[in-house]
Amino acid sequence: MTATPVAVGQATALQAAFRAAMASVCTPVSVVTTLADGLPYGTTVSAFTSLSMQPPMVLVSLDLTSDLLVLIRQTGRFGLNVLSSSQTGLALNFARKGGPGKFTGVPWEVAAAVPRIPEATGFVACTVGKLVAGGDHVVVFGHVLMATSADSLPLTYQARVFGTHAPVLPA
């Protein structure tokens, strides 16, 4: 099967339609972290998911130009801090460009050799299993070393706004 070339105008229209379709998907918000030369680094992502229970694995998608991706390649480890609904400010802070300064004023600790944000509703520490190119991103496959969770509502992102999960009771 061969791909049909798409004209530039059609590609732009397809990208806009794809972006709008993906905005309709509710995703959890997390901060991916790593520790390099004793300093914590992190970035906000909404593209992650559990992959496998046997063995426990997750995957996370990072932009090809991500400074954090470079560090994760070097360290071979990362943490996935699933933010709670009260952590919108952290999500915005870690979404900006910049290095270790993102952790200024942010409580954190080291768990399984990666930065953990204690107030997060979930935390997963991983070693890198595989890196797979995918368009303008790289999918990082992580082998889970440890996992913790708290009893708090997660921060979610949908239609370009933050929110949280609310159960829908059967009628």
Domain map of the chain by residue range?
26-156
Q: pLDDT tens digits for 60-84?
A: 999 999 999 999 999 999 999 999 9
Q: Which residue has the tokens 């059967």?
A: 170
Please provide the DSSP assignment of 76-100 as one string: -EEEEEE-BTT-HHHHHHHHSS-SG
Report the pLDDT value the prediction gives residue 8, as an integer from 0 to 100.
58
The average confidence (pLDDT) of the chain is 91
> Which range among 37-46, 66-75, 95-104 shows the weakest confidence by mean pLDDT?
95-104
More confident residue, 12 or 84: 84
What fold, for 26-156?
A: Pnp Oxidase; Chain A (2.30.110)
